[in-house]
Each structure stands twice: as C-alpha cells, then as structure tokens.
Amino acid sequence: MMEHDSEVESNTAVWISFADLMTGLLGAFVLLLVGVMAAQLQMASQLEAEVQRRQIEEQKRLSLEQALAGPLASGRITLNNGRIGISGKLLFALNSAELQPEGRQLLQSLVGPLRSYLQSRHEILMVSGFTDDRVVTSRNRQFEDNWELSAQRALTVTRSLIDQGMPSGLLFAAAFGQEQALVPNTNETARAQNRRVEMAPVPRNSSP
C-alpha cells in the first residue's frame, strides 16, 4: 500500500512539473508573439510614414515643376531634388558679382511663380552661391576669396528678387564657396558647371 502511494505521489509530481513546464513555455510563446506583433506594427507604422513622406516630396516636386514650367522648358534653369539651378555665366561675368541684364530678366520671370509657391506652403527660399576651385583674381581685388565671391553673388540674387517683388521674409542667402561642387574641377567645362547659384525651398523654422 505504501509503495502504491509513493508511486501515485511520484506520478503527481511529474505531472505537476510537466504542467509547470508547459505553462512556462506557453508564457514564453505568448511573450514572443506579443514582441513579434509589436515589431510588425512598428515596422508597418514606419513604412506608412515613409510612404507618406515620399508622396509629399513627389507632390512638392510636381508642384514646383508646374510653377516653373516656362523657365524649365527654355533650359534657362534646372530642377534637381527641389533645387533650382542657374548657371553662373548666365548671371555674372567671371569673378564678378554684378548681375548681367539676361540674368536679371530671368530672375524677374521667377519671382511670380516662386512667390506663389512659397506663400502656399510653410517654406522659405534659400539662395546659395557656389564657385569653382580657382583662386579669385581681379584687378582691384574686390573679393578676398571664393567664400566672399559666392556670398556676394547670393546676396546680389537675393536683393534682385526682393527688388522685383519677392517679400524679404520669404528668402535668405547662403554661401558655399568652392565646396559642394557638382562635378570635379578637372577642366573649364566642369568649372563652369560649378559656378552657379541655386535656390531651394526649405521648411520655415518655427522656433525663434
């Protein structure tokens, strides 16, 4: 009788241990399942946010293309990733920051479309000046270096846009000198490409 009771107690202990093991495994499985579902939800949310961001960027690009359809069609400006590019030789003579008549006319044609575009969005226009890698040379040494030349060219374009009707609160100037070259400065054709002014709509900073 004692042996039978011992056997029953042993079997009971085994089943209890097995039940505890299964309960532990089930708990671990539930935790793993919850973790996988949370990760999937997070990935889905991130994917949706990325899709929305790309849709917004595509809408912005199309809207900017429509606003600048005329100058783009004539080849006087380029549009790449939201950056409006204007060849330096169209705007300025070599080593000069004095706006040429053809460049002034081009900027005048851009004021209306850009003003409407910016005013319909929470954005402002960054006007950036760029040069090639050659040391600035001029008879009167008007500019100390490429930084100063690119800064003055950006300011000249900015002021011209304001003079022709662009609200001053919708744009600002920036200088990059010889940095951020489009192509390596290996020959005169490449250097001509790098001498440019770019205009890019950027989000308006809401903080002081």
Residue 121 has pLDDT above 90, yes or no: no
pLDDT digits (tens, 9 = 90+) for 43-70: 877 777 777 767 666 677 777 888 788 8
Mean pLDDT (the chain, rounded): 84
- Give φ, ψ of 89 to 5 degrees: -70, -20
Which bin fits 165, alpha (ψ -120 to 50), beta or left (φ > 0)? Answer: left
For residue 207, pLDDT over 60 is answered with no
Cα–Cα distances in Å, from 197 out to 82, 89, 91?
Answer: 14, 10, 8
The radius of gyration computed from the CA coordinates of the chain, to the nearest angstrom, equals: 32
Q: Rounded distance, CA 2 to CA 11, Å? A: 14
Encode burial over 183-208: b for 16+ CB neighbours within 10 A, e otherwise: eebeeeeebebbbbbbbbbeeeeeee
Q: Taking the complete model, does pTM exceed 0.85, yes or no? A: no
Secondary structure (3-state) at 53: helix
